[in-house]
Structure 1
Amino acid sequence: MTSLTGAPNSANSAPATVDTDTRLDSAGPPDDAHARELLDAAYPAWSALVARLTGDELGLTLDWRYYRDGGWLCRALRGSKNLAWLAFKPGRLTVACYFAERHRAALAAIPGLGHVAETPLIGKTLPVPLELVDIEDVDLAVALVSAKRHSR
């Protein structure tokens, strides 16, 4: 798993640097068949992540939106609050959350997120993007989204 950088343009716009595959055009959000094709070996991670985000553990809603500057991105929502951005890339998927800087120490204490201690701010926002390539990466992504859910 590797981290990325990016920041949201506004509360409901796509992160600035989360790139998507060019095969995801504006015709419609990716369906299950497209996800299997594009993610390939990372598809089980996507399937497990969806089950955990939308299940009893977090109870989130996933909402695909098309952005001219970012293509199709999935928002993980609790009510109207966007907790995370999810995007497909060939062979992997990204999960990105954005926090206030005051949450840096708590995030860095989560096993696997130690790099957050050195992550530069973008404006006043602390970006914490992750790449998931296999099912073992899902626990960290869920921990990140859970931290976002409980942050104030």
Structure 2
Amino acid sequence: MENPLLNDPDVFPSPEVLAKTLGKSYTVFEELIGEITGDEVGLTVEWRFYNDGKAWLGKVCYKKKTIFWLSAWDGYFQTTFLFTEKTKPGVMELPIDETLKNEFAQNQPMGKLIALPVKVTKKKQIKDVLQLVRYKKESK
């Protein structure tokens, strides 16, 4: 099983560190971060080292609400959205890639939450992430 990178608690995930880790997908990462932290979407990214997973994760929030978690992998980054049984039907109706919907439909709940990880390597995947961000911001 693969593990996220950025495992050194003393090395903050600066743009330089992320560029080296993400490789070609770093430009996609930059574009997504630009989109979500702009005035229109208004999210913030807070990087923190988590001892339980032994890796740096980005907590992406709108005000105090966590929208998704961000992790860096070898050559790509992953956004992980957490939904409930109540919000699951709305996710299935979103205009996102059918593969994501199928994977999400198969995922088992962890407690009360169902994870929807999106492995991002290409620019065209940003639109799916933004659809999920909008839905998560609006859901209760």
TM-score by length of 1: 0.81
Match of residue 80, structure 2, among 96, 105, 110: 96
The alignment partner of 1:53 has SS state of: helix
* 2-structure distance, mates of 1:29, 1:150: 31
Q: Does 1 or 2 have the higher relative contact order (CA < 8 Å, sep 6+)? A: 1
- Once the two structures are overlaid, the 10-residue window that deviates more, 49-58 or 109-118, is 109-118
| Paired position in structure 1 for 2:10 | 27
CA contact (8 A) 1:38 1:90 kept: yes
Letter in 2 for 1:132: V
Between the two proteins, what is the percent identity of the paired residues? 25
CA contact (8 A) 1:41 1:134 kept: no
Match of residue 69, structure 1, among 52, 59, 62: 52
Following TM superposition, by how much is the alpha carbon of 1:18 offset from its aligned partner in structure 2, in angstroms?
9.0
| Paired position in structure 1 for 2:122 | 134
Deviations 1:45-67 (A, max 9, x none): 10011011101231011100111
Letter in 2 for 1:124: K
The alignment partner of 1:121 has SS state of: coil
- Structure having the higher helix fraction is 2
Asked if 1:119 is matched to 2:107, the reply is yes
TM-score by length of 2: 0.88
Give aligned pairs, total. 135
* 2-structure distance, mates of 1:96, 1:29: 20
* 1-structure distance, mates of 2:2, 2:45: 17
The alignment partner of 2:134 has SS state of: helix
Residue segments in structure 1 that go unaligned for 5+ positions in a row: 1-16
Asked if 1:147 is matched to 2:130, the reply is no
Residue segments in structure 2 that go unaligned for 5+ positions in a row: none
Deviations 1:124-150 (A, max 9, x none): 211111100111111111111221111
Letter in 1 for 2:23: D
| Paired position in structure 2 for 1:49 | 32
The alignment partner of 1:102 has SS state of: coil
